Amino acid sequence: MKQSPKIIQSVQRAIDILECFDYHKRELSLSEISQSLNLNASTVHGILLTLQINEYIKKIPEKSKYKLGTKLLEKGNMVLEGLDIREIARPYLELLTNNFEETSHLCIYQLGYLYVIDKMEPPISGFYMTSKVGLRIPLHSSASGKLILAYLNEKDLKEVLNRITLERYTENTLSDVKMIRENLENIKKQGYALENEEFESGLYTIAAPIFNHKGEIMGTISVLGPTKRIKAKQDLIINDLKYYCKNVSKSIGFNLT
């Protein structure tokens, strides 16, 4: 019979103390922590002091309270820098492509531009599209691009709309700033974006957002294919896309809930 791993009690208690802090409880007193964990105050105080010396906890003398220390931020940034978004998102691209037998994309927004950084195609698509890894996607005429615009703050949105050329790729392409803005408001409300032959004739795309640890949009996952085929399973794709993107965002450090 496999034995359970041995837990070091003092280490577990230190972790439990750190776990007491969250977005709703940013500052806690010694008594609040003790009551929450049902531990003796002197025991908690000793662990807090150790964490404080090592900068994982900071004491606020004027309030007689504690908060998380800067060392956690340093370690957190190291974890974030080591994350490979492609490695995290790849299993979800595979699920989408296998389940719906359509192409899926992972796009990342960097320095004002949107790029395809990973692509998964079904064995037999029966539909040719020009997308490829490394392709720069237009922001105003793609599902992923419109998602990026929808979640930008007003200052950045104005800057981007002033910079980009609102080129018409098909008769469905939106090239009027006012119409684009109205479209963006709906996209943000629903949490996903559609592209109905706006960049490429015959191509229909559904995309959902990926957020970084700060809650800023950093990219998208999308499913694309022939208009009639994608529309027929649109609701199912939307449900899976939003769920998978939520999981990716959570893995990066942002919890949508």
pLDDT in tens, 126-177: 666 667 787 888 899 899 999 999 999 999 899 888 888 888 889 998 888 8
Q: What is the pLDDT of residues 164-201, one digit of tens each?
A: 888 888 999 888 888 889 889 999 999 999 999 998 88
Q: What is the 8-class DSSP label of residue 108?
A: E
Spell out the residues 6+ positions from residue 3 whose beta carbon is closer than 8 angstroms to its own: none
pLDDT at 161: 87
* Contact between 47 and 10 (Cβ < 8 Å): yes
Encode pLDDT of 55-102 as tens digits.
999 999 999 999 999 888 777 666 655 558 888 999 999 999 999 999
The pLDDT value recorded for residue 256 is 56
**Strand partners for 137:** 114
- 203 CB burial (10 A radius; 0-12, 13-18, 19+): buried
| pLDDT, position 75 | 76
pLDDT at 125 (0 to 100): 63
Domains and CATH numbers, the chain: 9-78 (1.10.10.10), 83-252 (3.30.450.40)
Give percent of the chain above pLDDT 70. 91
pLDDT of residue 162: 87
- Given this model, what pLDDT does residue 4 score? 67
> Treating both helix axes as pointing N-terminal to C-terminal, what angle do 30-37 and 41-53 enclose, rounded to 10 degrees?
120
